Structure 1
Amino acid sequence: MMLRRLAMAGCAAGLLGLAACASPSNPAMMTLPATAGLTASSGDLGYRSVTTVTVSGGQATNPMWTSEVSNADFKTALENSLAAAGYMGSEGPAMTVAASLIDLKQPLAGFDMSVTSQVRYTVSQADRTVFDETVAATGTATMGQAFMGVERLRMANEASIRENIKAFLTRFRARAR
C-alpha cells in the first residue's frame, strides 16, 4: 500500500514537472498579419522584391529553463510578415533583409509579464543599404491569458517579436517614401 502511494506521488510530481516545461515560440503567433497602412503596393520601395531573409542572435528554448526565440522561428515569422505586407517576391530589384536579435529582456516572474525585444534590421538592394536601424518593442502577456508562468513568458516573447516586426515595417515604410 505504501509503495503504491509513493509511486502515485512520484507520477504526480513528474506530471507537474512536465507541465512547467518551457516551450519554444510559435512563428504563427509572432507573424504580423496584413495591416492597413503597412502593406506595400506597386511602386513602393521593396514591393514584392525581398528575396532573402537572414536572422541571427536567437536562441533555442531549453525546456528546463525559459522560453526563447530561435533564429528559425523568428525567420519564419519575419518572412510570413513580409509576405503578408507585400514585400516578399521577385518582381522588383532583389532586396535582402537581415535581422539581428540583439536582446530579449525577460522577467524572471510576475503576474503580467512584459518582454522587450531589440532587433537591428538591415535592408539592402544590390550594394546599397536602404535601411539600417535598431528597433525596440515590448509585448505583454497577462495572468488572464495563461495561468502558467512559462506560458505567459512564451506569449510575451511572441507579442514582443510581433510588435517589433510591426515597428520595423512602420519605420521602413516611413523611410522608403
Structure 2
Amino acid sequence: MRRLAAGAAVVALMGLAACASPASPARMTLGATPGLTAAPGDVGYRSVTTVSVSGGQGTNPLWLSQVSNADFKTALENSLAAAGYMGGQGQPMTVSASLIDLKQPLAGFDMSVISQVRYTVTRAERVLFDETVAATGTASMGESLLGTERIRLANEASIRENIKTFLTRFRARAR
C-alpha cells in the first residue's frame, strides 16, 4: 500500500513538472538596441501613448505555453519604452498589435516557434505603418530538457524577435 501511494505521489509530481507555463513579459521584452532607439527629431520619439494587443490567448497548463494579450502588451510597451517611443511628447501615436498566429511544434529536440503579428501605427487618424511581421524563435535541448519549457522559451524568443523586426521596419519607413 505504501509503495502504491509513493508511486502515485511520484507520478503526480512528474505531471506537475511537465505543466505548461505562460510566456514571461520580461523575456519577451526587447531591451535598448543600438540602431533601433529613437532620438529627438525621429518620427515617434516619445510619442506612443496607447498600445493595444489582440489575438493572444492564455496558457492551459495541460497543453502548450501560449502568449496572452496582457503579457504581450506588457512586453511591447516595455520594448517601445526601451527604444524611446513611449511618452507624451509630440503628436500622440497609437500602436496596435494583433497576434495572428503562433505556429508551435508538438515535439522535437530544438523547437522553433513562428509568430505572425500585424502592427498598425497611427497618428491623428493617419496610418503611418500597417504590416504583418513574421519572426522565428528557437529553444534547444541545452536550454531545457522539458519540452513544455522549450516551447515557452521559443515563444518568448519569437515574440522578442517579432518586436525587433517591427521596430526595424517602422524606423526604416518612418524616416
| Equivalent in the alignment of 1:22 | 20
Give deviations 1:8-45, integer Å, cap 9, x for gaps: 00000000000000000000000000000000000000
3-state SS of the aligned residue for 2:132? strand
Inter-partner Cα distance in structure 2 for 1:39 and 1:63 = 36
Deviations 1:122-146 (A, max 9, x none): 0000110000000000000000001
Residue 152 of structure 2 corresponds to which residue in structure 1?
A: 154
CA distance in 2, matches of 1:11, 1:84: 46
* Paired letter, 1:85: A
Offset of residue 168 of structure 1: 0.0
Give CA-to-partner distance per residue, 1:40-67, whole Å, 9 cap, x none. 0000000000000000000100000000
Question: SS of the counterpart of 2:121?
Answer: strand
Could you tell me which amino acid in structure 2 is paired with residue 62 of structure 1? N
Which amino acid letter does the alignment assign opposite residue 137 of structure 1?
A: A
Measured after TM superposition, the shift of residue 106 of structure 1 is 0.2
Letter in 2 for 1:20: A
Provide Cα deviations, 1:82-122, integer angstroms capped at 9, x if missing partner.
00000000011000000000000000100000000000000
- The answer for the alignment partner of 1:134 in structure 2 is 132
Q: 2: CA distance between counterparts of 1:137 and 1:53?
A: 20
Alignment of 1:65-144 (within 5 A): 65-144=63-142
4+ residue runs over 4 A deviation: none
Aligned length: 175
Q: Distance in 2 between matches of 1:46 and 1:40?
A: 8
Which amino acid letter does the alignment assign opposite residue 80 of structure 1?
A: N
1:49 to 23, 30, 47: 47
Q: Which amino acid aligns with 1:119?
A: V
- For 2:170, the equivalent position in structure 1 comes to 172
Unaligned runs of 5+ in 2: none
Structure 1: unaligned runs, 5 residues or longer: none
**Which letter does structure 2 place at the counterpart of 1:108?**
L
- Residue in structure 1 matched with residue 56 of structure 2 by the alignment: 58
RMSD (Å) for aligned C-alpha atoms: 0.3
Question: What is the TM-score of this pair, normalised by structure 1?
Answer: 0.98
